[in-house]
Structure 1
Amino acid sequence: MTRPISVQLYTVRDQLAADRDGTLERIAAIGYGAVEPFDPTADPEGFRRVIDDLGLAVSSTHAYALLDREPAEVLDAVATVGADLVIIPGGIPEAEFTTRDGLARTADLLNGLAEQAAGHGMRLGYHNHWWEIEPRIDGRHAIEVLADLLAPEVFLEIDTYWAAVGGADVPALLGRLAGRTRALHVKDGPVVKGEPHTAVGAGAMPVPEILAAAPDAWRIVELDTCATDLFTALADSHAHLTRLEGS
């Protein structure tokens, strides 16, 4: 894996709100070489100036706004921050993942957005939580059935922690979705809904096996909540992943 380790900026959402530039400086100082924004429409020009000055790349960006704003406006902002992978990270009703008809509607929505993204030179992806994993359709996780219905250019960003919470054998799932998975959210913790996360390597997730199952996917650290000091956990996560990838 030669790409720099990235961090989903939702992890530091409160810190960004208080001091965006200082927070990005701390992330770069830890050693992260890339970031994944969660709202590219928030001052995209200013954000781009700061990350360029810090030498940070943009691995990808989440964009809930594609579901309720003019897509061209959102995609212009994505281009400004420097991403070519744009990801829908939820926002589709959970019930849509419980039936084949719902999955077909979801695929139609994502495929349509992918066409618009392609017009801006971008690829569209989808990011899971547990509700795309828990439902089984003909014995398969719902996200696997969804993958069959997506246009070839639509990729998946597998949140490995929520896949485990949803009941998946994550390395096995990644093996089955190898052709679709362009990015991983790498996180750790007790694998229990509602419990805070830990630094990567300090919880119950089989991180080495997960990385081995998706060797070409971008590694993106995310801590939705944290049981310890947040920046210490981010530093420990980066160090752990660096050791694993270098071994």
Structure 2
Amino acid sequence: MTLPEASVQLYSLAKEFAADPQASLDRLAAAGFRNVEAFDFVGHPTEIRRALDAAGLASPTGHAPLLTDELWTPDGSIPTPEPAVVFAAAAEIGMSTVFDPFVAADRWLTEEGVADIAERLNALVDTAAGFGLSVGYHNHAQEFVADFDGQSAYERFVSLLDPRVQLELDLFWALTGGQDVPALVASLGDRLTAVHVKDGVVPASNPWAPGAAEFGSASLDQRRAGTGDVPLAAALEAGTAIRHAVIEFDHAPGDVFDDVAAGLVFLTDGGFVA
């Protein structure tokens, strides 16, 4: 198996990137990154592409809402454009895959809701292909709350997807959802093309379970890769077609540039990336 390439999700440094995109990308390049995963890119693709080129970076993957009217984050929501607008921006930046990063918890609680999510994503495959792109889905932990005849909502969702839809598994959130993460990685096979390399102390309960209190990213005890609860090494070794190992923090424990650089060291020293 070809080793994946390291990347970093720009949501990790959202404040720093918003304040000075070029300086932020330059610091990531200086730390040894060659790739990033863009976030909230649709409104300014030309500027982002220019900054990436100047830093010597690429953004082969990106996050953008395709299945909801607003993109939820723990710290607020972002209105969403039409899928064709998303794909045009992604193509301008030079992406190969756009992952939808969040579908609300209540839509994962029924079989009908799960089927609707899969149908909506399947319907975008050909549209994306017209822009030279693939589409995929990125999980949190709400996809693992409901169970249908012994199948989690996430497993049911995967079973209903067009084979061309790709998956990006957030390893921290899968563990928060109570999953055997390496086993889940192995079960997803070749459609799992990206993972979020995220570590920390897993919350005591799933924050998206019915009745759970609302939370923000600052409440999460996330840590540098290899120093938390998540079996990152075993999960990465279980993959068969992972192309992108994307370091991310919802809430960095310290200086975010130092924290993502430590993640890159974890990946390179462990032999997990090319």
TM-score range, shorter chain: over 0.9
Residues in 2 aligned to 1:54 and 1:4: alpha-carbon distance in whole angstroms? 17
Q: TM-score, normalised by structure 1?
A: 0.94
Select which of 227, 235, 239 maps to 1:214.
Answer: 239
Residue 73 of structure 1 is matched in structure 2 by 85
Q: Which residue of the partner structure matches residue 195 of structure 1?
A: 220
SS at match of 1:182: strand
**Corresponding residue for 1:86?**
98
**Structure 2 partner of 1:20:** 21
Higher helix share: 1
Distance in 1 (alpha carbons) for counterparts of 2:104 and 2:256:
30
Aligned match of 2:173: 162
8 Å contact kept, 1:66–1:88: yes
SS in 1 for 2:271: helix
Aligned residue identity for 1:60: T
Change (3 A) 1:3 1:179: closer
Could you report, residue by residue, the CA deviation over 1:165-213 in whole angstroms, capped at 9, with x for unpaired residues? 0100100111111132110001000011642311101111111101101
Q: Partners in 2 of 1:108 and 1:65 — Cα distance?
A: 12
**Structure 2 equivalent of residue 56 of structure 1:** 57
Aligned to 2:265: 239
**Equivalent residue for 1:114, pick from 116, 125, 129:** 125
Q: CA deviation at 1:40?
A: 2.1
Residue 228, structure 1, aligned to residue 240, structure 2: no
Any conservation in 1 of the 2:190–2:241 contact (CA below 8 Å)? Answer: no
Indicate the percent of aligned positions where both proteins have the same amino acid: 38
Q: TM-score, normalised by structure 2?
A: 0.85
Give the number of the structure with larger relative contact order, counting CA–CA contacts within 8 Å between residues 6 or more apart.
2
CA distance in 1, matches of 2:52, 2:248: 18
CA distance in 2, matches of 1:215, 1:152: 16
Q: 1:99 & 1:226 partners in 2: Cα distance?
A: 34
**Retained in 2: the 8 A contact 1:189–1:202?**
yes
CA gap of 1:83–1:246, structure 2 versus 1, over 3 A, is closer
Q: Contact 2:189–2:240 at 8 Å: present in 1 too?
A: no
What residue number does 1:41 align with? Answer: 42
Q: CA deviation at 1:98?
A: 1.6
Name the count of aligned residue pairs. 246
Secondary structure of the structure 2 residue equivalent to 1:151? coil
- Matching residue's letter, 2:84: A
Distance 2:240 2:179 in 1: 19
1:10 Cα offset (Å)? 0.1
Indicate if the aligned counterparts of 2:236 and 2:272 stay in contact, CA closer than 8 A: no
Whether contact under 8 Å (2:100, 2:136) holds in the other structure is yes
Which structure dedicates a bigger proportion of its chain to strand?
A: 2
Structure 2 residue 151 is matched with structure 1 residue 125: no
Shift of 1:38: 1.0
Contact 1:11 1:223 in 2 (8 A): yes
- Aligned equivalents of 1:187, 1:246: Cα separation in 2: 14
Q: Please report how far the alpha carbon of residue 101 of structure 1 lies from its aligned counterpart in structure 2 after TM superposition.
A: 1.2
- Change beyond 3 A, Cα 1:166–1:3: closer
Hey, what's the Cα distance between the residues in 1 that align with 2:18 and 2:184? Answer: 36
